[in-house]
Amino acid sequence: MLSVEHISKSFFRKQALDDVSLGAEKGEIFGLLGPNGAGKTTLIRIINRIVEPDNGVVRINGAIMTRKHLEHIGYMPEERGLYKSMTVEDHAVFLGRLRGLSKQDVTAKLNYWLDKFEIGDWKKKRIEELSKGMAQKVQFICTVLHEPELLILDEPYSGFDPINTELIKNELIHMRNQGKTIVLSTHNMKSVEEICDRVALIHHSKKLLEGRVADIQEERKEGLYAIRFRGNMIAFANALWSGFEVVDTENPSDNLFIVRVKMRGENTFDDLLKVLIGQVKIEAAWEVLPTMQDIFISIVQPKLTEAL
Amino acid sequence: MRNSWIIALREVKERIGSRSYVLFAIFGPLIILGLVYLLFVFGGNEAEKWNILVTDKAGILDNKLMPHPDPNVTYSFANDYIEHTDFANGKRYQQYDAMVEINEKVLSNKLSYVFYRTKPSFNLQAKVQYQVERRLEEVMIQRFTDLSVQTFREIKQPIKFSFRNVYDPYDQTSDVRTWVGFFFGMVILAFIALFGMTILRSVTSEKSNRIVEVLLASVRPQQLLFGKLTGVGISAFIQFFIWIIFIGLGLYLMREWMFPSIYDASSMNMAELTDNGRILSVQEKLYAGKEFNTIVDLVYERVNFGVMLTFFVLFFIGGYLFYGSFFAAIGSTAGTENDGQQFILPVLLILALSAYAGYYTVANPESELTGWLHYIPFTSPVVVMVKLTYGYAAGEAYQIWLSLIVLLLSAFFCLSVASRLYKNGVLQFGHRLKLQHLFKWLRK
Q: Residue B211: list chain A partners with CB under 8 A.
A: 80-83
Around Cβ B172, how many Cβ atoms within 10 Å?
11
A83:B211 CB<8 A: yes
Number of domains in chain A: 2
Using CA coordinates, name the residue in chain A closest to B2: A98
Do A236 and A165 share a structural domain?
no
In this prediction, residue B278 carries a pLDDT of 44
Contact status of B209 with chain A (Cβ, < 8 Å): yes
Contact status of B218 with chain A (Cβ, < 8 Å): yes
Banded model confidence at residue B163, pLDDT cuts 50, 70, 90: low
B214:A73 CB<8 A: no
Do A126 and A247 share a structural domain?
no
CATH number of the domain to which A135 belongs: 3.40.50.300
Higher pLDDT, residue B264 or B90 = B90
DSSP-derived letter for residue B302 is I
In this prediction, residue B322 carries a pLDDT of 92
Q: Residues A144-162: what's their mean pLDDT?
A: 87
Whether A208 contacts A40, CB under 8 Å: no
Do A77 and A31 share a structural domain?
yes
In this prediction, residue B353 carries a pLDDT of 92
Question: Which of A89, A82, A83, A183 lies closest to A139, judged by CA?
Answer: A82
Instruction: Enumerate the β-bridge partners of residue B165.
Output: B168
Q: How far does A100 lie from chain B, in Å, by closest CA?
A: 9
Most B CBs within 10 Å, among A9, A58, A97, A144, to test the B interface: A97
Determine the 3-state secondary structure of B262 from DSSP.
coil
In this prediction, residue A183 carries a pLDDT of 93
A83:B218 CB<8 A: no
Q: Is the pLDDT of residue A198 over 50?
A: yes
Do A53 and A40 share a structural domain?
yes
Whether B318 contacts B408, CB under 8 Å: yes
Banded model confidence at residue B159, pLDDT cuts 50, 70, 90: confident
Banded model confidence at residue B237, pLDDT cuts 50, 70, 90: confident
CA angle B417, B423, B425 (to 5 degrees): 95
Contact status of A119 with chain B (Cβ, < 8 Å): no
Please state whether beta strands A244-253 and B50-56 pair in parallel, antiparallel, or not at all (unpaired): unpaired
CA angle A28, A31, A34 (to 5 degrees): 165
Each residue's pLDDT tens digit, B99-149: 999 988 888 888 899 999 888 876 778 788 888 888 898 899 988 888 888
Do A262 and A211 share a structural domain?
no
Q: A with B: how many residue pairs have Cβ under 8 Å apart?
A: 61
Residue B280 and residue B282: Cα distance in Å, rounded? 7
Residue A142 and residue B215: Cα distance in Å, rounded? 12
Do A256 and A237 share a structural domain?
yes
CATH number of the domain to which A255 belongs: 3.30.70.60
Q: Residue B215: list chain A partners with CB under 8 A.
A: 98
Judge whether A269 lies within some domain.
yes
Do A83 and A190 share a structural domain?
yes
Using CA coordinates, name the residue in chain A closest to B224: A98
* Amino acid present at A38: A
Write phi, then psi, for B425 (nearest 5 degrees).
-100, -20
Judge whether A145 lies within some domain.
yes
Q: Please identify, among A181, A201, A218, the residue that sits at the C-terminal boundary of a domain.
A: A218
**Which of A82-86, A256-260, B391-395 has the least mean pLDDT?**
B391-395
Most B CBs within 10 Å, among A50, A76, A91, A130, to test the B interface: A50
Q: Residue B219: list chain A partners with CB under 8 A.
A: 98
Contacts of B274 (CB under 8 A, 6+ apart): none
Residue B415 and residue B423: Cα distance in Å, rounded? 12
Q: Is the pLDDT of residue A174 over 80?
A: yes
Contact status of B213 with chain A (Cβ, < 8 Å): yes
A77:B206 CB<8 A: no
* Amino acid present at A132: K
Q: Please identify, among A180, A197, A218, the residue that sits at the C-terminal boundary of a domain.
A: A218
| ipTM of the modeled complex | 0.80
In this prediction, residue B287 carries a pLDDT of 46
Of the CA atoms within 13 Å of residue A267, those in its CB half-sphere come to 20
Banded model confidence at residue A191, pLDDT cuts 50, 70, 90: confident
Whether B232 contacts B200, CB under 8 Å: no
DSSP result, A34-73: --TTSSHHHHHHHHTTSS--SEEEEEETTEEP-GGGGGGE
Residue B444 and residue B435: Cα distance in Å, rounded? 15
Each residue's pLDDT tens digit, A72-122: 899 988 776 788 888 999 999 999 998 888 889 999 999 998 888 888 888
* Amino acid present at B112: S
Judge whether A6 lies within some domain.
yes
Which percentage of chain A shows pLDDT scores above 70? Answer: 97
Each residue's pLDDT tens digit, B48-97: 688 999 999 888 888 888 877 887 889 999 988 899 899 999 888 999 99
Do A274 and A209 share a structural domain?
no
Judge whether A295 lies within some domain.
no
Question: Which of A19, A31, A4 lies closest to A295, judged by CA?
Answer: A31
Q: Is the pLDDT of residue B6 over 90?
A: yes
Q: Residue A50: list chain B partners with CB under 8 A.
A: 213, 216-217, 427
CA-derived radius of gyration, chain A:
24
Residue A149 and residue B40: Cα distance in Å, rounded? 68
Banded model confidence at residue B275, pLDDT cuts 50, 70, 90: very low
B209:A83 CB<8 A: yes
Whether A130 contacts A138, CB under 8 Å: yes
Residue B261 and residue B269: Cα distance in Å, rounded? 13
* Amino acid present at B81: Y
Q: How far does A101 lie from chain B, in Å, by closest CA?
A: 11
Instruction: Return mean pLDDT, chain B.
Output: 80
Q: Residue A142: list chain B partners with CB under 8 A.
A: 214
Do A251 and A138 share a structural domain?
no
B210:A45 CB<8 A: no
In this prediction, residue A291 carries a pLDDT of 85
B214:A70 CB<8 A: no
In this prediction, residue B300 carries a pLDDT of 59
Question: Which of B53, B412, B15 lies closest to B242, judged by CA?
Answer: B15
CA dihedral B93, B95, B100, B103 (to 10 degrees): -30
Around Cβ A139, how many Cβ atoms within 10 Å?
21
Contact status of A94 with chain B (Cβ, < 8 Å): yes
Q: Residues B179-202: what's their mean pLDDT?
A: 85
In chain B, domain spans: 2-41+176-443, 50-156
Instruction: Return mean pLDDT, chain A.
Output: 87
Q: Is the pLDDT of residue A296 over 70?
A: yes
H/E element, B76: strand B73-78
Residue A18 and residue A9: Cα distance in Å, rounded? 7
Contact status of A109 with chain B (Cβ, < 8 Å): no
Q: Where are the beta strands (DSSP E) in A215-289?
A: 224-230, 244-253, 256-263, 281-288
Please state whether beta strands A2-11 and A55-60 pair in parallel, antiparallel, or not at all (unpaired): antiparallel
Q: How far does B436 lie from chain A, in Å, by closest CA?
A: 13
Q: Which CATH superfamily is domain B50-156 in?
A: Periplasmic binding protein-like II (3.40.190.10)
Contact status of B214 with chain A (Cβ, < 8 Å): yes
Residue A59 structural domain: 2-218
**Distance of CA A307 to CAs A35, A42, A302, Å?**
13, 21, 8
Each residue's pLDDT tens digit, A19-45: 999 999 999 999 998 888 888 889 999
Residue B334 and residue B204: Cα distance in Å, rounded? 8
Please state whether beta strands A29-33 and A181-185 pair in parallel, antiparallel, or not at all (unpaired): parallel
Q: How far does A185 lie from chain B, in Å, by closest CA?
A: 16
A75:B14 CB<8 A: no
Contact status of B434 with chain A (Cβ, < 8 Å): no
In this prediction, residue B261 carries a pLDDT of 52
In this prediction, residue B301 carries a pLDDT of 58
Whether B211 contacts A83, CB under 8 Å: yes
Q: Is the pLDDT of residue A242 over 90?
A: no
Do A239 and A128 share a structural domain?
no
In this prediction, residue B274 carries a pLDDT of 45
Q: Residues B279-289: what's their mean pLDDT?
A: 45
Do A53 and A172 share a structural domain?
yes
Where does chain A have alpha helices with state H? Answer: 40-47, 88-98, 103-116, 132-144, 162-177, 189-195, 213-219, 233-240, 269-276, 292-307
Q: Is the pLDDT of residue A306 over 60?
A: no
Q: Residues B320-332: what's their mean pLDDT?
A: 89
Using left for φ > 0, alpha for ψ between -120 and 50, and beta otherwise, residue A73 falls in beta
